[in-house]
Each structure stands twice: as structure tokens, then as C-alpha cells.
Amino acid sequence: MRFSTATAALAALGPLSAAAAESPFEQYKAKFQNFLSSFSGSAGIPEAADNVQVPIPKPKSKTVEPKKIDTLTLANWKDALYAPVHAEATIPEEWLVLITGGNKTCFGRCDKLDTAFSQSALKLASLKPTPDNLHLASVNCDDEPVLCNSWSASTGVIWLFEILPAPTETGLYVKRLNTTTVTSQDIVDAYVAPKEEWTKVESDSYFHPIDGFFAKNGLAVPLGWFFWGLNAVPSWVMMLGVSFVSRSMMNKRVEGMAGGPRAGAGAPAAAAPRGAAPGDARS
């Protein structure tokens, strides 16, 4: 009994004696190690922050620019159409040309068509694949009456030129649009539609702007001026001229039906009978 009590007392004094035997240097060393461990723990925070993944912004999609719409005039139209054509080109440059007008030539009905054509410029540029060889232009027949007359072009239509280096013949297709209901999508659909849905202008026709008979012989522009002059003359002057010419023709026709001057109107009088000789029994 005494042995067990002594053993328990020694066991209880063991930790106390160990603590007493520990030198002060060891205590300071333990505190310094705890200080270093706390410092390394606090220094690890920025390292964790460095591992945070920052979202990378996605590259912006390329902005599609609408097709430029050139304005064709009597002075520049041919140079403008051939400007993008390279000398060795084998793929034709396409020109989609709107024939429009104002109150004189389109009677004020082309405003909706003009708006739709302008809006189609962006849609045509957004087609896949992008038609890099497509160009847009317009002709206002109020401003360019001679050009429209030399082409024999009416308003409310679109022309599609397929141009290769000269002297290769130029393809030309014409399509009429409904000026009251047309939309930009109608113009895009017309462009992508098969050529069979267009009206083809043969290169040997008289009024083909580039390869026609009048164009090759230098007569297209003079005819344009002539037809413009006729359209510029007031209607009452035309009626007066037609009336004068028709009356002159009728007078000549009446004279021809009468057979010329009346008989004896201009003939000399008949000679009087000669009298009998002197001594004649008849006298």
C-alpha cells in the first residue's frame, strides 16, 4: 500500500521536475518558433491571393461596316464601275445599281425604295461568305436625266453589272421592284436569287450601256441629250407643232387629189378666125 502511494507521488512529480529541469533558453526558443510560424501563416495570405484566377475578357467580334453606296453621274459612271477591276481579274466585279428618282421621274414614289436600298448595304456586307467583289451605287434620274435616257433606264429597278477587264463583254441583269412594299430584305433576296429570276440585257442590244450598238458607236450620249430635250419641251408646244405639221400635210394631200390647176385657168385665149380675102364672095 505504501509502495503504490509512493509510486503515484513520483508520477505526479515527474512533469514538474521536467519543467523545472527545462532551461530558460529552451522556453525562449519555443516562443520564437511560435512567432515565426505565426508570421509565415500571415505571409501566406498574399500567396493565396496570387493564385486567384482573374477572368480574361473575350475579344470583341469584328464590327461589320455597311457597303459604301457610290453616286453615278454622266461624267464618272464608267470610271467608277471599272475602278475596282484588276487587269488580270478572272472573277467579275459586281455592281448593284439602284435606278431611282424624285418627283419628276419617279413621281415621289421612290422614297421607300431609297431607304430600303440604304438599309440593305449592311445586310449585304454581312452575308456569309462576304461578297468582297460586290459594290453598290445609285443613279438619280432627276439629277442625271441624260444618263438615264442614254441607258434607256426607268426608275424603280436595280441593275446588276458583272464587269471584267475590257474588252470582255459585261453581263447585265435588270430586276424591277415594288416601290410601295419593298424592304431591305427584298433587295438582299434579289441579289442572292438565281440569275434566271432577273431579266438579262444582251450585250448586242442597242441600249446596253457598255457593249450596245449605240455605246460602241458613240451615239448613246447624243441620244440621251435628244430624248432629254424632247422630255423638256412642254406638252402644249409639242401639240402645237404636231398640229402645224399635220395641217400642212393635209393641205398638200388635198391639192394632190384635185389633180393640179383647173383646166383653162392659165391657158392662152384661142386665136380668132382669120377673115376672108378681099374680093372673096364669102365676105
Within 13 Å of residue 92, how many CA atoms lie on the same side as its CB? 16
H/E stretch holding 124 = helix 111-125
Q: What is the dihedral of CA 123, 124, 129, 135, to 10 degrees?
A: -160
CB 173 within 8 A of CB 108: no
Above 70 in pLDDT, residue 233? yes
Residue 253: pLDDT band by 50, 70, 90 thresholds?
Answer: confident
Q: Which three cell numbers stand for residue 102?
A: 424624285
- pLDDT for 1: 45
β-pair type (157-163, 171-176): antiparallel
Q: Express each pLDDT in 78-121 by its tens digit.
A: 999 999 999 999 999 999 999 999 999 999 999 999 999 999 99
Q: What pLDDT, on a 0 to 100 scale, did the predictor assign at position 16?
A: 46
> How far is residue 65's CA from residue 274's CA, in Å, rounded to a whole number?
112
At residue 33 the predicted structure's pLDDT band, cuts being 50, 70 and 90, is low
Q: Whole-model pTM?
A: 0.65
CA distance linking residue 32 with residue 119, whole number of Å: 78
pLDDT of residue 239 exceeding 90, the answer is: no
Which comes out higher in pLDDT, residue 76 or 131?
Answer: 76
Average pLDDT over residues 244-254: 77
φ, ψ of residue 266 in degrees (nearest 5): -120, 10
The pLDDT of residue 15 is above 80: no
Percent pLDDT > 90 in the chain is 53
- Contacts of residue 67, Cβ cutoff 8 Å, sequence gap at least 6: 121, 122, 124, 125, 134, 135, 136
Residues 177-200: tens digit of each pLDDT: 999 999 999 999 999 999 999 999
d(CA 67, CA 135): 7
State what percent of residues in the chain have pLDDT above 70: 67
Left if phi > 0, otherwise alpha if psi is -120 to 50, otherwise beta: which for 244? alpha
Residues in a beta bridge with 136: 69, 96
How far apart (Å, rounded) are the C-alpha atoms in residues 81 and 173? Answer: 15
pLDDT of residue 252: 74
Q: Report pLDDT for 59.
A: 60
**pLDDT(6) > 60:** no
**Integer angstrom CA distances of residue 232 from 72, 215, 225:** 22, 23, 10
Can you give the pLDDT at residue 219? Answer: 93
Q: Across all residues in the chain, what is the average pLDDT? A: 80
In angstroms, what CA-CA distances link 193 with 120, 124, 188?
15, 13, 9
pLDDT mean over 22-51: 57
Is the pLDDT at 248 greater than 70? The verdict is yes
- How much is the pLDDT for 232? 76
Instruction: Quote the CA–CA distance of 41 and 56 in Å, as a whole number.
Output: 30
- Looking at residue 283, its pLDDT comes to 46
Please say whether the beta carbons of 210 and 132 come within 8 A. no
Q: What pLDDT, on a 0 to 100 scale, did the predictor assign at position 231? A: 78
Q: Is it the case that residue 222 has pLDDT exceeding 70?
A: yes
CB atoms within 10 A of CB 68: 10
Segment 270-274 mean pLDDT: 55
